[in-house]
Amino acid sequence: MAIPFANGMHNRKFAETDENANSVFEARHKLANGASPPRFCSLETPAATHAGAPHANPSLENSVDAPAPASRGRAWAVLGTPWLQISTCIIAGVIFGLSMEKGRVFEPLHIRNQMDFSSMVMLKMFLASVAAVLVSMSALSVLPATSQRFALARDNFICRLSAKGVTASIVGGTLLGIGMTLGGACPGAVLVQIGAGVSNAGYTFLGCILGAILYGLTEQTVAHWTRPKNAAQKIRIDEIVGIPFWKVALPLGVAMAASVYLLEVVVPWTSDLTILNESEASLMELRSWLPSVSGALIGCLQIPIVLAMGQTMGGSGSYCTMAAQLIPSATLRNISPYLLRTKFGLNNWWSIVYGCAAIAGAVFSASMSGTLGSTEGVAAMHAFLGGIIMVYGSRLAGGCTSGHGMSGMGTLCLFSFVAVPAMFVGGIGMLAVMKLNGLVN
């Protein structure tokens, strides 16, 4: 029996030229929205399909296993070996789960309280992680040994958003924020909550799977409503202003790091802790770490993911891959080509490996500090409904807190700078509604 990501295990022929890749992408883009392709997607290559799996019509939103063009792939062939890629994902996932657990950003209380700014844990970690991504991406973009891999990962992220628009970014981001407040989680934090033993996290996970299925079933209709008539030709901020990437990203990263420092001065991290650390505990036995340190560690994980996978971090896409396993391929071919495209291939399954490793990292971290199973979750119905809404919204927007927040803002994608504020607006509004109805204190 074939392994779901087995097609990523085989050596596959690189595209002969960038021109061939262009022609394939042009055909795809015309199928998707009937417009000429934006020039920043010139390196898209043919999607590989799983042996024996039904062929679905390709579209811009696919993330199936596709090799990098020869011009950008051969320099990093050693990092393209599947087992090294998988090993990288496992290590990065464990660090992600551990850092999220130690930063305490997975706690539903901190996520909800961020929406009325009574807690700053989430904001500190978010800004620190984005700052780390911007600085690390700046370095990758200028170093000769990594610049091509950076460009490939950036192209892969931007191309997946090229058929999106401002409407999808605003509506999807708002729904994501609503779901985060209701469920007390974000798509990436759900897995950490499971590992840390947060009560009712399983309901949030089930809601996330259902949200992915619902989006897969309605994707074509929703895309028709939200897709712009003409795809944006420039959605990279550095291209819009006409200066090199690092000249925008590096100062922005430094500014975000400075804002985290100022936040820490005004609101010390210990003031947000529900339980203080024990003074004699070792580093791993500590219940919590400085949020900015945990956030920076998470942001630096973009480096191995970019170099090994030629992609960027994200959280919500993995739920589509998991959801697709529940439905036969023949059925998906008829009801949701979108989910079918996420079912096979290492370029889909790496996020599953990463997510499972994140659960393990959270288990390890919580066990070391003696806090496993001690964090209170939200009500089961809130968790379930929140999971549905947050994943549906993130897929509509094309990314979640990791996808748009760290990867999108970290690659200076204009739509991400629209989706992230919309996320906070949705979350703040939802918390206000919940307070008015007595659902939270």
What are the tens digits of pLDDT across the range 168-183? 999 999 999 999 999 9
Tokens describing residue 36: 């000429």
Distance of alpha carbon 430 from alpha carbon 324, whole angstroms: 30
Amino acid at 193: Q
Q: Which residues on neighbouring strands pair with residue 236, listed in sequence order?
A: 413
Distance of alpha carbon 206 from alpha carbon 200, whole angstroms: 10
CB distance 346 to 311 below 8 Å = no
Which pLDDT score, from 0 to 100, does residue 426 have? 98
Q: What is the pLDDT of residues 271-315, one digit of tens each?
A: 998 888 887 889 999 999 999 999 999 999 999 999 999 999 998
CB distance 310 to 411 below 8 Å = no
CB distance 96 to 354 below 8 Å = yes
Which pLDDT score, from 0 to 100, does residue 42 have? 41
This prediction's pTM: 0.85
Reply yes or no on whether the pLDDT at 227 is more than 70: yes
Q: What is the pLDDT of residues 170-219, one digit of tens each?
A: 999 999 999 999 999 999 999 999 999 999 999 999 999 999 999 999 99
The owner of tokens 């291939």 is 345
H-only helix segments in 78-200? 82-103, 108-114, 121-142, 147-161, 166-183, 187-196
Nearest to 148 by CA among 80, 71, 84, 40: 71
Which of the pair, 154 or 77, is modelled with greater confidence?
Answer: 154
Reply yes or no on whether the pLDDT at 26 is more than 90: no
Neighbours of 325 (CB within 10 A): 15
Reply yes or no on whether the pLDDT at 410 is more than 70: yes
Boundaries of every domain in the chain: 81-436
**Phi, then psi, of 101 in degrees rounded to 5:** -70, -45
In whole angstroms, how far apart are CA 414 and each of 40, 339, 403, 409, 420? 13, 26, 13, 8, 10
Tokens describing residue 136: 């690390």
Which pLDDT score, from 0 to 100, does residue 94 have? 98
DSSP assignment string, 211-272: HHHHHHHHHHHHHHHHS-SS--S--BHHHHHTS-HHHHHHHHHHHHHHHHHHHHHHS-GGGG
CB distance 92 to 304 below 8 Å = yes
Distance of alpha carbon 257 from alpha carbon 132, whole angstroms: 8
Q: What is the pLDDT of residues 230-253, one digit of tens each?
A: 777 789 999 999 999 999 999 999
Q: What is the pLDDT of residues 143-172, one digit of tens each?
A: 999 999 999 999 999 888 877 889 999 999
Choice among 269-278, 370-379, 398-407 with the minimum mean pLDDT: 269-278
Secondary structure class of 432 (helix, strand, coil): helix
